Structure 1
Amino acid sequence: MVNLGIRVVGGKRMPNGELGAFVSAVNQAKYNQILGEVKEGDQVLEWNGVLLNGKTFEEVERIVNSSSGEVEIILKSEGEKSHRISNLRRYSTAMRDSSRFANVTALPVSQKTLRIKDASPDRAPPVPMHRRNGHNGTIGRNPSSRIYDNVDSLDYGNDAWPNKPQDSLGYLQVAISYDRASSRIVVRVVAARGLKMRDQARRLAPNPFVKIYLLPGRKVSNKRRTRFVPCSTDPEWNQIVEWQVSPVSLPSLYLEFSVWDYDRLTENNALGQVTVSLAAIMPC
Structure 2
Amino acid sequence: VSGDINFSVSYDYRVGVLSLTLRQCRNLAYGEERTKRCDPYVKVYLLPDKSRQGKRKTKIKKNTINPVFNETLKYAISHTQLEVRCVHLSVWHHDSFRHNSFLGQASLPLDCCDLERGDDRWCALQPRVTRNPFAAINNKYKGELILALKYIAPTEQPQPESPPGESP
Give your verdict on TM over 0.5. Answer: yes
Q: 1:232 pairs with 42, 64, 87, which one?
A: 64
Residue from 35, 42, 55 that aligns with 1:210: 42
Secondary structure of the structure 1 residue equivalent to 2:53: helix
Q: Following TM superposition, by how much is the alpha carbon of 1:282 offset from its aligned partner in structure 2, in angstroms?
A: 5.6
Q: Answer yes or no: is 1:244 the counterpart of 2:76.
A: yes
> Aligned letter for 1:186?
S
Change (3 A) 1:262 1:183: same
- Aligned 8 A contact 1:177 1:187 in 2: yes
Alignment of 1:157-176 (within 5 A): 169-176=2-9
Instruction: Spell out the pairing of 1:51-130 with structure 2 (5 A cutoff).
Output: 118=1
Deviation at 1:201, TM superposition (A): 4.5
Aligned equivalent of 1:106: none
- Label 1:282 to 1:188 Cα distance change in 2 as closer, same or farther (>3 A): closer
> What residue in structure 2 maps to residue 267 of structure 1?
99
Residue identity matched to 1:190? R
Moved over 2 A (4+): 198-202
Alpha-carbon distance between aligned partners in 2 of 1:243 and 1:198, rounded to the nearest angstrom: 29
Structure 1's 255 and 181: CA in aligned 2 closer, same or farther, altered over 3 A? same
Q: Which of 19, 27, 31 is equivalent to 1:198?
A: 31
1:253 match: 85
Structure 1 unpaired stretches of 5+: 1-117, 119-168
Structure of higher RCO (CA pairs closer than 8 Å, 6+ residues apart): 2
Identity fraction in percent: 25
Higher Cα radius of gyration: 2
Counterparts of 1:282 and 1:179 in 2: how far apart (Å)? 8
**How many residues are aligned here?**
115
Cα offset, 1:199, TM superposition: 3.5
Matched residue type, 1:239: E
When the two structures are superposed, what TM-score results if normalisation uses the length of structure 1?
A: 0.39
